[in-house]
Amino acid sequence: MKIREIDINIQAKPFVKWVGGKTQLLSELTARIPRDFSRYFEPFVGGGALFFHLLPEQSVLIDINEELTLTYRVIRERVEELIADLKQHIYEKDYYYQIRNIDRTDEYKSWSAVKKASRLIYLNKTCFNGLYRVNSKGQFNTPMGKYKNPKIVDETNLRACSQALQKAQIITGSFLKVEEKITRDDFVYFDPPYAPLNATSNFTGYSQDGFDLAMQSSLRDLCDRLDAKGVRFMVSNSNAPLILDLYNHYKIEFVYATRAINSKGYKRGKIPEVIITNY
Q: Is 267 annotated as a binding residue?
A: no
Across 183-218, b (16+ Cβ under 10 Å) vs e yields eeebbbbbbbbbbebeeebebbbbbeeebeeebbee
* Number of Cβ within a 10 Å radius of residue 11: 13
* Number of Cβ within a 10 Å radius of residue 267: 11
Cβ neighbours for 53, distance < 8 A, ≥ 6 positions apart: 11, 26, 30
Report the C-alpha gap between 101 and 276 in whole angstroms: 39
CA dihedral (155, 158, 159, 165) in degrees, to 10, reads: 180
Measuring CA to CA, how many Å separate 122 from each of 29, 42, 57, 169? 29, 25, 30, 24
Q: Is 191 annotated as a binding residue?
A: yes
- N- to C-terminal Cα distance for the chain? 16
Residue pair 190/219 in contact by the 8 Å Cβ criterion: yes
Report the C-alpha gap between 81 and 184 in whole angstroms: 39
Report the C-alpha gap between 274 and 67 in whole angstroms: 29
Q: From the annotation, which residues make up the binding site?
A: 18, 22, 63, 191
Annotated binding-site ranges for S-adenosyl-L-methionine: 18, 22, 63, 191
